[in-house]
């Protein structure tokens, strides 16, 4: 199967399914001193008595296990401070979204944005407006409503990104959002200090560099490999002569703007008793999943170096779209069949992309899987809230809109009445409990945490291995085909410091799953009535 370069823009935004990253730039405005009137009241008796609060969960009555904590009731017309920041009035919050239109045909075909009334592809702008209504029902915005304005991206090259940043900065919004494939690192760098809040699907706010976002990926890999593989023999290598040999570890790492620092891995690995025999690197360029052609052309040389160094076990941080297919093809051409340790970097743990690897090689791939198992009945954390509000035949939905609105509304909800960049940040960092995935003992959700702005959030992973002959839908993008990751321990997720010791039962189908036929009991969101919603025959009409 061939995955086109245009798909790279979608994959670069698939972090919307990750632990949701939200941050703020603090170059505009300053927070007012906290006061009782500015405090949202999280954890207070008033918050728990709020009619919108489930006192058992201490979260708002929203059908998601990661719903925001309860806040105190707000009376219409109460003083919220008025124009507390750029783009903020007593009644509204200006939010600008940068988006691509039209989306590439292959992205449209995957139906990531769907008009429920027609079953056909819908518009990104409609999905934002309709999803906003879902969150507006329960989340507190302290007398203000988001006022959305939409800017069509002029292109995806660096010059276009910078021009779009200038245009949007002149609009003086409070928050800026990026949707599928729109913007990028150049846009973020140009806009981040000109608006109070930047909400992106990937690197967001405070302009967290990829090198920082990749740090927990490297540290988690070092921890788990140290606990499970160091000191053992390369039993899962494709070369029979390797299977009786002690493991010799080599590392493949993209470096540069969208890369990973192999020194972080080596240092953490050494603390676990591990030693890296050799490290090979390539320039990642500016795209997390599509390095420049000259980097991909280095694949045979990188493989030759790993082979010459006697590496039995390759710790793989290579991207899944460009370099990993090239590396595995080169390895087969050079009759080199090591173990491949999956780290989940660069989306090579996504079924859709792993199918592009040389299957003779990838049949010996195992390790850490960031993406959760596919749920065959998609009544999950993404779709349940939308259908709870709109029903099954109204509104335009998309995973991107869900992520963006979750970021925006959680920040507004927890900021309290005096909305500034600082209160938005403090609300998320100090008042939102880490939720989802390993934090909540869930399997099909991903970790969501805003522990500290400007640094990477916790990274969760499951343990799994690649089965070339298992047929099914890919995680996230649902494309059906041969080749699936198999999950151990029913897809149980772990975060740093919590990975298990000992050798897992990789390559044992009796101990593994590939998909869930229904949402597991641990992940089923709570159920609440939505009495004044379109799903109950009331409320507004959808945008389209």
User: How far apart are alpha carbons 17 and 476 in whole angstroms?
Assistant: 8
Q: Is the pLDDT of residue 114 over 50?
A: yes
Residue 450 neighbours by CB under 8 Å, 6+ apart: 20, 22, 23, 428, 429, 432, 457
pLDDT of residue 518: 87
What integer pLDDT is reported at residue 36 of this predicted model?
A: 53
DSSP secondary structure, 108-166, as one string: HHTTSEEETTTTEE--HHHHHHHHHHHHHTTS--TT-EEEEEEEE-S-SSHHHHHHHHH
Q: Averaged over 495-507, what is the pLDDT?
A: 95
pLDDT for the residue 292 = 87
Asked if 238 and 337 touch (Cβ cutoff 8 Å), the reply is yes
* 299-305: average pLDDT: 98
β-pairing, 512-513 with 480-488? antiparallel
Look at residue 209 in the predicted model and tell me its pLDDT.
61
pLDDT at residue 14 is higher than 80: no
- Can the peptide bond before residue 102 be classed as cis, meaning omega within 30 degrees of 0? yes
Query: Which of 125-134, 158-167, 220-229, 454-463 shows the lowest mean pLDDT across its residues?
Result: 454-463
* C-alpha span between 352 and 107 (Å, rounded): 13
Reported confidence tier of residue 210, pLDDT bands at 50, 70, 90: low
- pLDDT at residue 249, as a whole number: 98
Q: Are 37 and 84 in contact (CB under 8 A)?
A: no
Quote the pLDDT of residue 344: 93
pLDDT the model gives residue 11? 47
Is the model's pLDDT at 270 over the cut of 90? yes
Does the structure show a pLDDT above 60 at 24?
A: no
Task: State mean pLDDT over 496-513.
Answer: 95
Domains within the chain, CATH numbers bracketed: 7-32+81-208+377-428 (3.40.50), 211-374+458-521 (3.40.50.2300)
CA-to-CA distance for 158 and 172, rounded, in angstroms? 22
Computed over every residue of the chain, the mean pLDDT equals 87
For residue 36, the tally of other CB atoms under 10 A from its CB is 7
For the segment 106-110, the average pLDDT, to the nearest whole number, is: 54
Q: What is the mean pLDDT of residues 351-359?
A: 94
> Token pair of 64, please?
């998601």
Average pLDDT over residues 382-406: 88
Q: So what's the pLDDT on residue 26?
A: 35
Per-residue pLDDT for 29 more than 50? no
Mean pLDDT score, 58-73: 95
Mean pLDDT over residues 63-91, rounded?
95
Cross-strand bridge partners of residue 60: 53
As a whole number of angstroms, the distance between CA 331 and CA 306 comes to 10
**Predicted confidence (pLDDT) at residue 85 exceeds the cutoff of 50:** yes
Q: How confident is the model at residue 211 (pLDDT cuts 50, 70, 90)?
A: low
pLDDT of residue 475: 87
- The 3-class SS string of 5-24 reads CCHHHHHHCHHHHCCCCCEE
Span 20-48, mean pLDDT?
A: 59
Dihedral angle, C-alpha 394, 180, 191, 40, nearest 10 °: 40
């Amino acid at each position: 199967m061939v995955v086109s370069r245009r798909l790279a823009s979608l994959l670069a935004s698939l972090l919307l399914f990750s632990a949701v990253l939200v941050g703020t730039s603090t170059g505009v405005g300053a927070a007012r001193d906290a006061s009782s009137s500015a405090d949202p009241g999280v954890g207070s008796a008033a918050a728990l008595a709020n009619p919108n609060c489930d006192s058992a969960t201490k979260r708002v009555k929203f059908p998601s296990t990661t719903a925001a904590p309860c806040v105190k009731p707000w009376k219409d017309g109460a003083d919220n401070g008025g124009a507390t920041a750029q783009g903020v009035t007593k009644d509204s919050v200006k939010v600008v979204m940068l988006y691509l239109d039209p989306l590439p045909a292959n992205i449209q075909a995957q139906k990531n944005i769907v008009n429920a009334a027609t079953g056909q592809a819908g518009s990104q702008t409609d999905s934002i407006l309709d999803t906003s209504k879902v969150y507006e029902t329960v989340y507190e915005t302290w007398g203000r409503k988001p006022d959305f304005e939409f800017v069509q991206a002029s292109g995806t090259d660096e010059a276009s990104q910078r021009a779009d940043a200038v245009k949007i900065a002149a609009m003086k919004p409070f928050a800026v959002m990026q949707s599928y494939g729109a913007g990028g690192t150049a846009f973020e760098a140009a806009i981040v200090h000109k608006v109070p809040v930047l909400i992106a699907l990937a690197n967001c706010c405070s302009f967290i560099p990829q090198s920082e976002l990749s740090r927990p990926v490297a540290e988690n890999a070092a921890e788990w490999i140290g606990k499970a593989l160091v000191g053992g023999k390369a039993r899962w290598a494709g070369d029979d002569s390797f299977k009786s040999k002690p493991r010799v570890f080599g590392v493949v790492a993209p470096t540069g703007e969208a890369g990973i620092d192999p020194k972080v891995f080596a240092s953490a690995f050494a603390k676990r008793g591990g030693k890296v025999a050799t490290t090979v690197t390539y320039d990642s360029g500016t795209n997390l999943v599509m390095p420049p052609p000259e980097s991909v052309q280095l694949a045979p040389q990188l493989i030759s170096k790993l082979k010459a160094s006697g590496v039995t076990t390759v710790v793989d941080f290579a991207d899944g779209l460009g370099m990993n297919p090239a590396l595995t093809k080169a390895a087969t051409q050079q009759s080199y069949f090591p173990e491949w340790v999956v780290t989940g970097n660069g989306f090579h743990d996504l079924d859709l992309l792993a199918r592009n690897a040389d299957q003779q090689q990838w049949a010996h791939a195992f390790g850490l899987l960031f993406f959760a198992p596919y749920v065959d009945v998609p009544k999950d954390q993404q779709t349940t809230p939308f259908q709870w509000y709109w029903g099954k035949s109204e509104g335009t939905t998309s995973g991107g809109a869900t992520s963006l609105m979750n970021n925006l509304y959680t920040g507004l909800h927890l900021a309290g009445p005096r909305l500034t960049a600082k209160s938005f940040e403090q609300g998320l960092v100090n008042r939102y409990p880490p939720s989802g995935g390993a934090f909540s003992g869930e399997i099909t959700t991903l970790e969501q945490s805003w522990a500290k702005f400007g640094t990477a959030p916790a990274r969760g992973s499951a343990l799994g291995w690649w089965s070339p002959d298992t047929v099914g839908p890919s995680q996230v993008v649902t494309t059906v085909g041969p080749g699936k990751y198999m999950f151990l321990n029913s897809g149980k997720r772990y975060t740093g410091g919590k990975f298990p010791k000992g050798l897992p039962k990789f390559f044992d189908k009796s101990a593994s799953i590939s998909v869930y036929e229904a949402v597991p009991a641990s992940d089923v969101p709570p159920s609440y009535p939505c009495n004044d919603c379109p799903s109950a025959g009331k409320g507004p009409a959808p945008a389209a």
